[in-house]
Structure 1
Amino acid sequence: MTDTRLSRRAMLRTAGVATAAAGLAVAAPGVATAGWGHGWGRRIPKDRIGIQLYTLRDAFEADLEGTMEALADIGYRSVELAGTYGRSAKEFRRVLDRYRLRAISAHVDFNGADVDQLIDDAKTIGYRTADCAYANYGTIAEWTDFAKRLDKAGKAFRKAGIKYGYHNHAHEFQAIDGVRPIDVIARHTSRHNIHFEHDLYWIVSGGADPVREFYRYFGRVTQFHVKDRAEDGSFADLGTGTIDFRRLFRDTWVGQLKDYIVEHDAPTDPVNTAAVGYRYLANLRF
């Protein structure tokens, strides 16, 4: 295993240099320069850049510790969980600590779960923000019932000192009988109990404008899933797709500090995707 990790780390360093050079090459033309305007130099603070570990699920199955080490070598200090890959909360916390990584958030489904146990796990691992990752219903009545249950769970998390939110896909922005599910969720949850983690790829795929959606429920959007979209609608590594992140971040900079969480749902090379994403966000100026 040691040889494998060393090989991976050497590969990452080589790939990192190439990626940085490629990033400079694509920063001049195309999507990345849209809205650059007057040469503003704002940057995302590095401690606000994280990665959703779902992106690396296949790599974790093969080598959890080696992949965590690779993330740390890339420069990540923050991660968002999507399960603990067969480890207990205490065991997973030890792995994070070993590589100087901290969990800033986690995808935690409250449906049918022991919320008290979820809260205990959160405190053990160390995150103070969590999100419901997915819901999908065919009627507004079902969405209303879900929102009320979501709010109840959010209240329990809040009382324990953990912020709870909702992570969207595309369908929440598409109307059912003239009503969008995302608006039902907002209407039937308290802003004190439920925030929004905006998945930017899915908002665009759902036919909505992320900037407008940010201001529609201003103050409730405290996390971004930063995921790029290729011309054909598939997933893309950050900075290689069609979403104008420079304009988007510039126009949504106001308000609470946000977590900018790299994600790719189906990467062919997860570790390289993580490296491309980190360097893109760390070097982006808007």
Structure 2
Amino acid sequence: MYKERRKFIKTSAVASAAVLLMPSCVTKTGKEAATAAIAGEQPQIGLGLYTVRNQMAQDPKGTLEKIAEIGYKKIEPFGFDGEKVFGMTAKEFKQIADDLGLQVVSGHIDPSVFQNKFEASLDFFAEVGQQYAVWPYQPADQRSLDDYKMIAETLSSCAEQAKKVGVNVCYHNHDFEYELVDGEVPLYLLRDQTDKAVQFELDLYWVTKAGKKPVEEFKKFDGRVPLWHVKDMANTEQRGFAEVGEGIIDYKEVFANKELSGMKHFFVEQDQSADPMKSIEISFKNLTEKILA
């Protein structure tokens, strides 16, 4: 998956070169208006852009326009290589996001950036307004206890540097971090061996796929989970991906216990979908009309 993320971001750089940085006007759609009735204000729903990676590679500006039209207010890009994201500088990417009313809250960062270019990347994070830098994935051949201890040390060091620009450092899980390695659960090792400034982005689908209950996991991280990835699990034998509200994860219960995690932002994400743009619209509608209503 990590190699796939790198491939998509490199491809998107070509398409992004032609992006026009002209102001865009997004009218308030029915979907957006409907959210205003929820708790007296519009919920700030985010989207992990990995969900629409093909669309971002082909037409990043047009894709972001559609995302804003659906009603999303926050975005989480992926694939920052130490210089650009989707082939764009911080100024270029922020210009488009600002024009569309999209807040760049978080970003999945190439692990090599954490290891070799992190301090040099702080200006990018500050300019784009990014509050979180997330370690996204650990390759299958780099999952020994020593590898995870290295990640813990790297994240702790980066968290100290990130304080200079008000950025928080996080680790994003999949299910394999719950698999025992030499008698230890890697995700809990990361929790215990990182500085308290290091936080976590819990992917609630992968938590569930690992046989855990999201609310119970929140209790184990002492408020260090400011970010969620919200995706659903299909009610099939394969337990594949589903649009939020169309699967078996009880997201009403999850959101009712958000204080346990310290959640500040959440991002819809769906790793695989036959029609990603349709999927993110379904997830947005279910969140606003059912889950958060």
- 2:15 paired residue number: none
- 1:71 paired residue number: 67
* 2:119 counterpart of 1:113: no
TM-score normalized by the length of structure 2: 0.78
Consecutive unaligned residues of structure 1, counting only runs of 5 or more, are 1-8, 21-40
Q: What does 1:42-191 correspond to in 2, within 5 Å?
A: 46-83=42-79, 84-111=85-112, 112-136=115-139, 137-191=142-196
* C-alpha distance in 2 between matches for 1:126 and 1:196: 19
The one-letter code matched in structure 2 to 1:146 is I
Structure 1 281/95 Cα, relative in aligned 2: closer, same or farther at 3 Å?
same
**Deviations 1:220-273 (CA, angstroms, capped at 9, x unpaired):** 011110011112221111111111111122133446342121001112212111
* C-alpha distance in 1 between matches for 2:182 and 2:52: 38
CA contact (8 A) 1:198 1:225 kept: yes
- 1:239 paired residue number: 245
The one-letter code matched in structure 1 to 2:171 is Y
TM-score normalized by the length of structure 1: 0.80
Count of residue pairs the alignment pairs up:
251
Structure 1 45/163 Cα, relative in aligned 2: closer, same or farther at 3 Å?
farther
Structure 1 46/262 Cα, relative in aligned 2: closer, same or farther at 3 Å?
farther
- 2:271 paired residue number: 265
Deviation of the 1:87 alpha carbon: 1.6
Q: Percent identity?
A: 31
Structure 1 110/152 Cα, relative in aligned 2: closer, same or farther at 3 Å?
farther
Greater alpha carbon shift after TM alignment, 41-50 vs 144-153: 41-50
CA contact (8 A) 1:110 1:153 kept: no
- 1:34 paired residue number: none
Any runs of at least 4 consecutive aligned residues in structure 1 with deviations exceeding 6 A, and if so which? none
**Deviations 1:155-202 (CA, angstroms, capped at 9, x unpaired):** 11123310111110111111112210011101111112x111000011
How large is the Cα RMSD of the aligned pairs? 2.5
**Deviations 1:1-43 (CA, angstroms, capped at 9, x unpaired):** xxxxxxxx9xxx89x7xxx9xxxxxxxxxxxxxxxxxxxx986
Deviation of the 1:103 alpha carbon: 0.4
Aligned match of 2:285 in 279, 283, 286? 279
